[in-house]
Amino acid sequence: MDVLTETTANSIYIDGQWRPAASGETFEVINPADGQRITTVAAGGRADARAAIESAARAFPAWAASTAYERSEILYRAWRILTDRTEELARILTTEQGKPLKAARTEVKYAADFLIWFAEEAKRVYGRTIPSARADQRFLVLHQPIGVVGAVTPWNYPISMITRKVAPALAAGCTIVLKPAEDTPLCAIEVFKALEAAGLPAGVANLVTARDPKPIGDEFIENPLVGKLTFTGSTSVGKSLTRGASDQLKRVSLELGGHAPFIVFEDADPVHAAKGAALLKFLNTGQACISPNRFYVHASIHDAFVETFTDRVAKLQAGSGFDKDVAIGPLINQAAMDKMSAQVSDAIDKGAVATTGGARMAGPAVEAGFFFAPTVLTGVTPDMRIYREETFGPIGAVCRFDNETDVIRAANDTRYGLAAYIYTRDLSRALRVSEALKFGMVGVNDINPTSAAAPFGGVKESGLGREGAQEGIFEYLDTKLIGISL
């Protein structure tokens, strides 16, 4: 891969220095489209995490004392660097993660959006005064950076999930140590190069690439210098980190799994909804926590929806993200392939029908990679695994419903609560159902209710806290009350 000719073995960035792992160990980064090794990066361990945390702790007082304007300036510069390097970064992203190049460019832009958004929000951390019942007393509320942040990010959006944490943390005046996902460390390295080039002082942001995440997570949890943990990934790992962090009552933000319902009411246009469904479900090969997992379609328009949905999905071209016409890339690894096969065969055994796809893909363009055929299942029912388990892959599971009350109950019948989607032309219904859905985000005739300006996050077992928007920076700030007697 042309953009990755230089060695990346010095991929740990601590105190402004690029270095190898303390142990000297490395691990391979694999291209999921062809199973080939891309490069080798440092396999950081607990000692590296500790050194990174200590560096962040040393850098904290000066960074916290810098003005919001100074921090903002650096984030603006990093935004400019990422934006100018979009093409190169998109190619690295496609190489290590697999998504089509066009989608990779969109993700790089989304990543840069967080830098500019929080460059602006840095200056808007307003406190307030509160009237007191005592004439001789004043209350002052202000917000101060928490301290050192330990951040863990996933492989599915390997660049935007990093800036979504790093930008608000830095804007707030926190310092940070990031552990990126083991499958996709290369985008992380590029973000840190951009921060370095933007003039970020040494030690303010530190990167520890690692093959084994557990020792790094343990150090984040146990080291008292870390004041806050921010995690995006699976619900099970999020819970276990939270359990660990509870010992010192560290602040925690979590963006976890989802099981999004996508409800198409009888007054919606089934063809329009099916086109939206086909676009949304197969974005990033279904590897998104806000990807719809259950399509509930009203019985009166079910067949029309399924016809267009199947037709669109069957036409999606899979292959290397570098091929111009490819709309769908590989899954990240073999474990993901196995999960798809297991969910499909379980559903079919219990009576579902695959109207397209349903198995691993064959053929020269896809054989070497982790390609599962884009699939539509109809007749999906609550006893099937796919109805409860997050799929994280290219399978659209369709169920029928007959009335609004039942479908709201069914949609909410999940331990997750991240995103939900509804299609309707009835304004009252749109509001009524949006309010009744127990999810953090609802798209109404809208398949992309996300933006750096909008609060992203879930309820129930989908997470704690919000990223992006005004809310995002407050995840990195403590509230302080000052009471003054005159």
The contact set with ligand ADP (CB under 6 A) reads: 152-154, 181-182, 213-214, 216-217, 233-234, 237, 241
Instruction: Please tell me the distance from the alpha carbon of residue 43 to that of residue 39, in angstroms, as a whole number.
Output: 13
Instruction: Write the burial class of residue 214 (CB in 10 Å: 0-12 exposed, 13-18 middle, 19+ buried).
Output: exposed
Query: Shortest distance, CB of residue 334 to ligand ADP, whole angstroms?
Result: 13
Looking at the Cβ atoms of 214 and 480, the one nearer to ligand ADP is: 214
Q: Give 59-101 as a DSSP string.
A: HHHHHHHS-HHHHHHHHHHHHHHHHHTHHHHHHHHHHHH---H
Residue 383 amino acid letter: D
Sheet holding 137-145, edge to edge: 128-130, 137-145, 477-485
Looking at the Cβ atoms of 90 and 151, the one nearer to ligand ADP is: 151
Looking at the Cβ atoms of 90 and 152, the one nearer to ligand ADP is: 152
Query: Shortest distance, CB of residue 262 to ligand ADP, whole angstroms?
Result: 21
Query: Shortest distance, CB of residue 292 to ligand ADP, whole angstroms?
Result: 18
Q: Give 201-264 as a DSSP string.
A: PTTSEEE---S-HHHHHHHHHH-TTEEEEEEES-HHHHHHHHHHHGGGT-EEEEE----EEEEE
CB atoms within 10 A of CB 68: 16
Query: Shortest distance, CB of residue 130 to ligand ADP, whole angstroms?
Result: 39
Instruction: Please tell me the distance from the alpha carbon of residue 377 to that of residue 73, in angstroms, as a whole number.
Output: 50
List the catalytic residue out of 54, 107, 190, 289.
289
Secondary structure class of 181 (helix, strand, coil): coil
Looking at the Cβ atoms of 153 and 450, the one nearer to ligand ADP is: 153
Phi, psi of 344 (to 5 degrees): -70, -45
Looking at the Cβ atoms of 216 and 437, the one nearer to ligand ADP is: 216
Looking at the Cβ atoms of 90 and 181, the one nearer to ligand ADP is: 181
- What is the total residue count of the chain? 486
Does 367 participate in catalysis according to the annotation? no
Residue nearest to ligand ADP (CB): 217
Looking at the Cβ atoms of 231 and 421, the one nearer to ligand ADP is: 231
Query: Shortest distance, CB of residue 210 to ligand ADP, whole angstroms?
Result: 7
Secondary structure class of 29 (helix, strand, coil): strand
List the catalytic residue out of 121, 255, 461, 475.
255
Query: Shortest distance, CB of residue 484 to ligand ADP, whole angstroms?
Result: 43
Strand 463-464 and strand 251-255: the pairing is antiparallel
Instruction: Look up residue 469 and give its two tokens.
Output: 């928007």
Query: Shortest distance, CB of residue 252 to ligand ADP, whole angstroms?
Result: 13
> CA nearest 125: which of 480, 447, 470?
470
Q: Which residues contact 61 (CB under 8 A, 6 or more apart)?
A: none
Secondary structure class of 176 (helix, strand, coil): strand
Instruction: Look up residue 373 and give its two tokens.
Output: 């055929």
> CA nearest 210: which of 190, 233, 192, 183?
183
Query: Shortest distance, CB of residue 290 to ligand ADP, whole angstroms?
Result: 14
Residue pair 409/261 in contact by the 8 Å Cβ criterion: no
Does 187 participate in catalysis according to the annotation? no
Residues classed as catalytic: 255, 289
